[in-house]
Amino acid sequence: MDQELESDSRLVAENGTPVRQFAVMLPNRVGALASLVKLLRSSSIEVIGLSVQDSRDATVARLVLSDTDTAESIFCEKGIPHTTCELVVIALKESGPGLLQCLDTMMIAETNVDFAYALLPGPNGQALLAMHVEDYDFATSVLNRSGFKLMYEEDLVR
């Protein structure tokens, strides 16, 4: 049994580095997001995915970036409040049917999707879906066994 678990964790590790998302707290004022993107671009970091949740006082920008290590250094150096989490990223063959098949697979496996959003088209122009799930290892295992193409940080670097 322990060997089985070891084998499963090695399989996940061999597939690639999980895509990391940054959740950045920004003041809710004109130009705050543009300033953040300019700061990142000045270090040759591109935004691959973006989801913005706005409130009266602050904005939470969820970002998938082309260079997570450098971005984290910049955020720490500049005192920009942020958190990170791992995302499951799926390359969909067809956006409509592929999305439903993916969601049905997750439902049958009885695992929750906390939030999801589309990323900019992948390196080969395919549609990409980013999902934050309750159990990353379980979700990637289920999706791999169901034939979905998962993307990792190495796949998204441009």
Model confidence over 18-77: pLDDT tens digits? 999 999 998 888 889 999 999 999 999 999 999 998 777 788 999 999 999 999 999 999
What is the reported pTM? 0.82
- Measure the CA angle with vertex 132, ends 129 and 133; round to 5°: 115
Would you state the pLDDT for residue 3? 47
Domains of the chain, each with CATH number or no CATH: 19-85 (3.30.2130.10), 87-156 (3.30.70.260)
Cα–Cα distance between 53 and 51 in angstroms, integer?
7
Closest listed residue to residue 90, CA positions, set 135, 147, 134, 46: 147
